[in-house]
């Protein structure tokens, strides 16, 4: 989980995310992601980036199964759903859970 997120500027994004912007805020690595437009955005200098983790990090020994009634916040992310758990996002991947 120590790999910093990749830099993916959103060229047409003019909204400034922050504590008062009204979007769900999720702590992620050394920054905060905001759920917006079916994705996760983070502020980077004077623009927003799509938050993407370029690495595959398996969450070891994660027996909990996330889903509609698991009690964790569900966040749409690209073509799947992430779940906020243990201070980060989990995503289903080939029979296990990844840390995002």
Per this entry, what is the length of the chain?
100
Provide the Cα torsion 54, 56, 62, 63; round to 10°.
110
Average pLDDT, the chain: 76
- 9-13, 40-44, 85-89 — which is least confidently predicted? 9-13
Q: Is residue 9 classed as helix, strand or coil in its secondary structure?
A: strand
Q: What is the pLDDT of residues 35-80, one digit of tens each?
A: 777 677 887 777 777 776 666 677 777 778 888 889 888 887 778 8
Other C-beta atoms within 10 Å of 10: how many?
Answer: 17
Which pLDDT score, from 0 to 100, does residue 42 have?
80
Q: Supply the DSSP symbol for 78.
A: T
Q: Which of 32, 83, 40 is nearest to 93 (CA)?
A: 83
Nearest 5°: the CA angle 74, 80, 34 is: 50
Answer whether 0.75 is exceeded by the pTM: no
Q: What percent of the chain has pLDDT over 70?
A: 79
């Amino acid at each position: 989980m120590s790999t910093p997120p990749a830099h993916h500027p959103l060229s047409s994004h003019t909204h400034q995310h922050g504590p008062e912007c009204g979007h769900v805020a999720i702590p992620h690595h050394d920054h905060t992601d905001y759920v917006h437009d079916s994705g996760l955005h983070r502020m980077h200098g004077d623009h927003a980036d799509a938050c993407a983790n370029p690495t595959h990090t398996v969450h070891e020994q994660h027996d909990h199964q996330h889903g509609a009634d698991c009690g964790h916040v569900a966040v749409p992310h690209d073509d799947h759903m992430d779940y906020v758990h243990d201070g980060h996002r989990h995503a289903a991947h080939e029979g296990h859970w990844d840390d995002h």
